[in-house]
């Protein structure tokens, strides 16, 4: 029997959507106000969901306290109150769209979990706009 456990978290971060190989006009055309050269910010809401078999000894799929610490070290400390474009190495050459942020978060958390567990990342950029990613 597979069960999914989830942990919510949040972080605040600034970013600018743009491609260095495009001029400002094309960036504005594609990304609109999200391409503001002075950046803009979001209060991101994150849901990290782990699915697996319930351990017969503990009754857990995964200890939520451990998941909380993984999220804190891999996401909150790395992204909170940061300019994603300028301060987070993963976005040095990667446009920090919600889609790319979700994939980066997945790639940071996945190695910290047991191989038999499945992972899904749901990232809300606004209360109405969100993305989900569960691997390649």
Residues labelled catalytic = 34, 81, 125
User: 3-state DSSP call for residue 100?
Assistant: helix
**What DSSP string describes 23-87?**
-HHHHHHHHGGGG-TT-EEEEEEEEEEEEEEPPTTT--SS-HHHHHHHHIIIIIHHHTTEEHHHH
Pick the closest to residue 2 from 49, 45, 61, 48 (CA basis).
61
């Amino acid at each position: 029997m597979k069960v999914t456990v989830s942990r919510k978290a949040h972080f605040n971060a600034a970013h600018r959507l743009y491609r260095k190989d495009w001029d400002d006009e094309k960036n504005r055309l594609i990304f609109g106000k999200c391409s503001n050269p002075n950046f803009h910010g979001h209060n991101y809401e994150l849901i990290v969901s782990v699915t697996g078999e319930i351990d017969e000894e503990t009754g857990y799929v995964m200890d939520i306290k451990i998941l909380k610490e993984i999220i804190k070290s891999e996401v909150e400390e790395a992204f909170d109150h940061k300019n994603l474009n300028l301060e987070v190495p993963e976005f040095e050459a990667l446009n920090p769209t919600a889609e790319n942020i979700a994939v980066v978060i997945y790639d940071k958390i996945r190695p910290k979990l047991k191989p038999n567990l499945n992972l899904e990342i749901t990232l809300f950029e606004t209360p109405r706009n969100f993305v989900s990613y569960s691997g390649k």
